[in-house]
Each structure stands twice: as C-alpha cells, then as structure tokens.
Structure 1
C-alpha cells in the first residue's frame, strides 16, 4: 500500500548503491582519449534519446503515469470541492427547515443531499397510510445509507490508479535502472575496457529511469492520501445530512400524530 512507499524507496536506493559499487570495483584509468570520448551532452532529453528501447519504454510509461496523476488531481479536486459545497449548503438548509417539504423546496435539485431527501419523501408517500409504523424509519434509513455509499463510491473513482502508481512506479524505475546498468556491463565486456566513456552514459540513463519513477510515485502517494482524507470528510458530511433528514422525518411524524389526536 502507499503508506509503505518510503521503505520501498529505501530498498530501491540500496539496490542502486550495490549496483554502482559493483561497477566501481573495476579499475578505471581515465586517459586523454577517454575524456575526449565522454559524451558532452548528458541532459535528460539526450539520455532519453541514447537509451535503448526497453529503458525508453520504462521512461515513457513513467511519464504517462505522472500525467495521469496530475490529471486525476485536477479533475477530482474540482469534483470534490463542488460536492462538498453542495453537501454543506444542503446540510445548513436542512437544519434551518421546519419540515422535509420545506427542505426539499430550498435545496438544489442536484447532489447527494437532494437525492436523499427525494428518496425519503418518496418512501413517506408510499407509506402514507402507515406513517406511524415503526418500519418507516428503518426503510428511510436503508435508503439514506445506500445513497451515501453510492455517493462515496462515486467520489472515490479514479483514486485507485493513484495507489497503483504510487506502489509500482518505484519498481518500474528500478527495473529501468537495472536494465541500464546491465547494458553498461555488456558495453564493458564488448569494449574490453573499463574507462568512463563506456560506463558513464549507461549509468546516467539508468539513474534517470529511477528518478522518473520517484517523480511519478511521490506525487501519486501524496495526492492519494489527500483524497483519502477529503473523501472521509465528505462521507462525514453526508452522514450529518442524513441525520438531519431523519430528524425532519421524526418531526413530521410527530406533527402528523399530534394532528390525528386533535
């Protein structure tokens, strides 16, 4: 799960350090021609272009995961802020309304709160002949609970991909790192030399894959945790609104019972 992400990053960094130490055990003699052969452009774009197809695929996948993370952040933020505004305004109007009918008239015709009130009113109309029955409150509570669960589930859509990115991106980046260092060792074997001109580009490409993995994973974990807390607060607001609706129903039933007695 995303909460164990720091421990996974630590394991990835340890693995990278071990691989770099293995590369360092070879004696390195840097001569003038070796320095001249070193690549002069080690920018991220240049390293991406020089990488092989496997490392390029890893980098492209991680960049796509990063784009998905920021897209989910923007879209879900707008959706969550809008839903929270509607729920809070609906809860305030429920508290101020003297009856369920008045509350329905003042609440906007969209959002989970309006759906809960409409479902409550529909159940009361269906049970008009037995309003004082003990089963009415149970049926209304069942409707309210189902609407709350459905609204919370809809709000949570899209956040699962953040957890997946946060959990897998470091390992995908580590795979690119291992593959790049393997290519460096293969280059050492084929060239039969251990100079920096052979080792440095592959090591740089490998470390770029790990960096992209962290760039994709860290925001995903942070955004996922933020949304998890925000959705929990949204569910609490829905619960408070449902409790207000149940109080309105209880008040309406008491008024109806008092009217029948009079």
Structure 2
C-alpha cells in the first residue's frame, strides 16, 4: 500500500508534540507576514505623507497659516513633528507677545518627543520578527528531535529497520525543521529591511526638526 507523503498527511501522522510545534510555527509565520505587510503599507504612507508635507512646508506659506490648517494633532507623522514644535512655539509667547526664556530648548525637546513617539510606532512589531527569525529554527529543531526520537521508539517496538517503516517518521520530523526555516528566513530578511526603512524615515524627521529649529532660532534672534 502506497503511503501518502503530502504535507497534510505528514502533519496528521505526527505526534501531538510535533503537531503543536508545527502549529506554533505556522501561527508565527502568519503573524510575521501580517506585520511585514502592515509595515510595508505604513512605511509607504509615511514616505508619501512626508513628501507632501515637505512640499507644503517649503512652499513659502507662513508657518502660522500652515499650523492653523493642520491643527495641533494632525494625522501625518511629519506633520505631527511640525505641530509639536509650533505648539510649543506658541505656548512660549506670553499674552503681550514676549517670548518666555528657554523657548528654543523647549521647542527642540517637544520635537524630539514627537519624533521618539513616531519612531516607536514605526518600529512596533519589528521585535516580533526578530524573535521569530532567531527562535523559529530552534523550535523546528526541537520538533524534529522529538519526532525522530518517537520514530526510533516505533522502529524498536516494531523491530524492523525497513525503509518503509523508517521513512514516514523521519519525514514527519523533518517537516518541523522545514516549517521553522519557512518562518525564520522571511522574518530575518524583512526585519533587516524594515529596520533600515524605519531608520531612514526617522532620520528624515530628525533632519526636518533640525531645519525647523534653525528657522525658529533665526526668529528668536530677531
């Protein structure tokens, strides 16, 4: 009788422990791909928002007018950094129009906090990719070791080393390692790529904050 070696058949014949390992790896892989897709969309939106805001910021429109259009809590990430600086700029003026001392430092700190918040949001979920990339192969290896141990026990009980007896158990065990690699490889690749993309986006916010701080510093000096 021909034995079924399809993925489902290998899973169905595996021991409970190996099945649990496979399910954990499949769940981790699905979750990792969900994060990858969500981050790809979020980063593309962030770059698009930053480009639109840069065009508006450098269009020559008065910054007070731009701030009134955006409001103190805009949706865009770059806009949020700008709004944080402008909010503190306006709060630093007394009712008679005189600036409260230390305005430049407070504005810089406000924008730094806004950038840190945006960076935290951009990087949310990336540690899970790193965890999957580093642990999934070992989880799969554990499933393989357990499966092979169970296969050898069956061989000893059957007292038969025929390949037809040995092969199914070994194949089921190796499937766990395969699933571990299937989860880990994309997680590692996209963790590195998304971390690099996030760093470039945050660096853009930091560069803008420096330029904006310079503009406000000129106004403070005058």
Length-normalised TM-score, structure 1:
0.76
Q: Is the 8 A contact 1:48 1:205 kept in 2?
A: yes
Q: Compute the RMSD of aligned alpha carbons.
A: 2.0
Give runs of aligned pairs for residues 68-79 of structure 1, distance below 5 A.
Answer: 68-79=31-42
Say which structure, 1 or 2, has more relative contact order (CA 8 Å, 6+ apart): 1
1:58 aligns with 2:21: yes
Q: CA deviation at 1:90?
A: 1.7
Contact kept? 2:93, 2:100, Cα under 8 Å: no
Residues 12-161 of structure 1: pairs in structure 2 closer than 5 A: 39-97=2-60, 99-104=62-67, 109-129=74-94, 130-131=98-99, 133=101, 135-161=102-128
Query: Does the C-alpha gap of structure 1 residues 173 and 186 become closer, same or farther in structure 2, counting only changes over 3 Å?
Result: same
Match of 1:260 in 2: none
Larger radius of gyration: 1
Contact kept in structure 1, 2:136 and 2:183, CA below 8 Å:
yes
**What SS does the aligned partner of 1:74 have?**
helix
> Offset at 1:80?
1.4
Q: 1:105 offset after TM fit, Å?
A: 5.0
C-alpha distance in 2 between matches for 1:236 and 1:248:
19
CA contact (8 A) 1:97 1:103 kept: no
Aligned residues: 217
Q: Does 1:242 align with 2:216?
A: no
| Conserved? CA contact 2:29–2:182, under 8 Å | yes
Q: Contact 1:93–1:107 at 8 Å: present in 2 too?
A: no
Q: Deviations over 1:185-207 (max 9, x none)?
A: 10121011211122111111011
Q: Structure 2 length normalisation: TM-score?
A: 0.89
1:175 counterpart = 2:142:
yes
2:80–2:114 CA contact under 8 A, matched in 1? yes
Following superposition, the deviation at residue 163 of structure 1 comes to 0.7
Change (3 A) 1:93 1:251: farther
SS for the counterpart of 2:160 is coil
